[in-house]
Structure formats: C-alpha cells, structure tokens
Amino acid sequence: MESHELHLDRARGTSFGSVAEQYDRYRPEAPDELIDELTAGRPTRVLDVGCGTGKVARTLARRGLAVLGVEADERMADVARGHGVEVEVAPFEAWDDAGRRFDLLTCGDAWHWIDPDAGVAKAARVLATGGTMAWFWNSSQVEEPVASAFARVYEQHAPEIVWVWGPRDTTRSERVPLSGRDAFSPIEEKVYRRERVLTADQWVGLVATSSDHLRLGAERLAALLRVVHGTIESLGGHVRMQHETTALICHRRPASSTG
C-alpha cells in the first residue's frame, strides 16, 4: 500500500491502541514554538483531530483553551480522558459535529490516517470563518555511527522498515491535503528543529509505538528490539538525533470567497 493510501488500512491506523500507555509515555510533545503560534490568535474553541492519548490537546489545554478531541480508537481515548481531555470516539470523516464550529483545528502525526477528500471537507465544515487548521508530524535523523549500525540491524531483522534512522518520506496526504481547495488560504509550512538524545530504553520504547513495528508481530518485534537495544548499548548507550516537527498551517476563508 502506498503511503498516501494509509487511511485505507483501518486496522493499522488503530493499532496504536494496543500500546496506548507506552505511546503516551514515549511520543514527543509538540514544540512550544508551534503551540505559541497556534494560540497567539486566542482561539476559544479547539478541535484536536486524531488526538490519540491527548498529547497535543493537553498542551493546548494548559494554555487555557477548551479542547475537544476526536479519536478513532477507544483505548487511546481512554488514556486521553485519564489526563482530563474530553474525547469523542469516531473516525474524523464519520464524526458527528452536531453543528459545532471551532476556531482552531489541530492534527498531530495523524492526518495520513484520514481520507484526504472526506477529511478536507469535514475540516472546512467545522472550522469557523478565519479559523486556523494546523497539521504536523515528527521525523528524526539519527547521527553516526548509530545510523549505520541500525541500517545493518534492520536489513537483517526487519528489512521492510526503512525510515527509523533517517529522514521520513512524507506522505502525499500529509503534505498537500488542501491543494486546490478554495475554502482555505494558501498553506504556510514551518519547520521546528531541535536535538534529542534518548537512552537505549527510551529509543526502543519509542520505536515500538510505530505502526510499522507493530505490524511485525510480538515475537519478531521483541527479537528486533533486543538487538536494537544491545546495539545502542554497545555504541555508548544513547541515540543522538536531529528532530524535526513540520507544520502546515492555513485558514478558513469566508464562504463568499470560495466562489
């Protein structure tokens, strides 16, 4: 299946629920600089699409915003609710908005699980005029010599996984989901960079929450993670990487401008 068709694989898209607590522990927070930008206009009604365990929603709530999450997996939603996030369980495309409108719509590391056409139409429907839509994703590039060591490990134990240690191949549905859509302003792209250093435990905890790893099955995944952990320990016990969050931001145009 091509990367831009991931939304068709619902089983893979909801596989994260099997490791919901681990996902919540190891997945990175959204950059403060991005949250600063999204809250600068003082939105009062926020919708977090594909909210997962509520990591983005909680960050926004700490800024004093009222946030509603929409999440397709009940297990992920339960973790988010445990952190005080209000969540409604449904795929975004099928979610009943009940006429509600929002000033800000966010989607972190989840837009590729949403049907691009239906998702865009729903976003246009629920965003108030002038409202902001921001979808963003994370990727990291591991530094040498760990990157070369990982390449050898994965070639032997999981050759179908190819981007753990290098730049992510951005899916088409993430990068241009609103192309040619008159309901939205032109897309502005912003990239937030920082260095991260993870221990061997933190690294294997993180990668074990990715869908490509979960697809290996419990036995293969456990064997792979043992080798990865040992490899990191043999190279100093940590993984240093350049981490990027790429955000695409646009605004809902007035209905009169959509032609």
Tell me, what CATH number does 238's domain have? 3.40.50.150
**33 C-beta neighbours (distance < 10 Å), count:** 13
Q: What angle do CA 124, 128, 133 make, to 5 degrees?
A: 60
Please spell the DSSP secondary structure of 84-146, one letter per residue.
Answer: T-EEEES-GGG---TT--EEEEEEES-GGGS-HHHHHHHHHHHEEEEEEEEEEEEEEEEPTTH
What pLDDT, on the 0 to 100 scale, is given for residue 255? 73
* Residue 236 CB-density burial (10 A; 0-12 exposed, 13-18 middle, 19+ buried): exposed
Domains identified in the chain, total number: 1
Q: Which residues pair with 255 in a beta bridge?
A: none
In this prediction, the residues of the chain whose per-residue pLDDT falls under 50 are: 1-4, 8-10, 13, 172-173, 179-180, 257-259
Task: Give the percent of the chain with pLDDT over 90.
Answer: 79
* Residue 12 CB-density burial (10 A; 0-12 exposed, 13-18 middle, 19+ buried): middle
Q: What is the dihedral of CA 208, 209, 213, 217, to 10 degrees?
A: 80
Tokens of 69: 């999450």
What pLDDT, on the 0 to 100 scale, is given for residue 164? 77
Helix (H, G, I), strand (E, B) or coil at 215: coil
pTM for the full predicted model: 0.89
What pLDDT, on the 0 to 100 scale, is given for residue 3? 46
Q: What is the dihedral of CA 219, 225, 227, 233, to 10 degrees?
A: -160
CB 23 within 8 A of CB 82: no
Q: Looking up tokens 């760990």, which residue turns up?
A: 146
What pLDDT, on the 0 to 100 scale, is given for residue 167? 65
What pLDDT, on the 0 to 100 scale, is given for residue 168? 61
**256 C-beta neighbours (distance < 10 Å), count:** 7
CB 69 within 8 A of CB 77: yes
Q: How far apart are CA 27 and CA 24, in angstroms?
A: 6
Boundaries of domain holding 127:
3-257
**Amino acid making up residue 203:** W
What pLDDT, on the 0 to 100 scale, is given for residue 173? 47
What pLDDT, on the 0 to 100 scale, is given for residue 45? 97
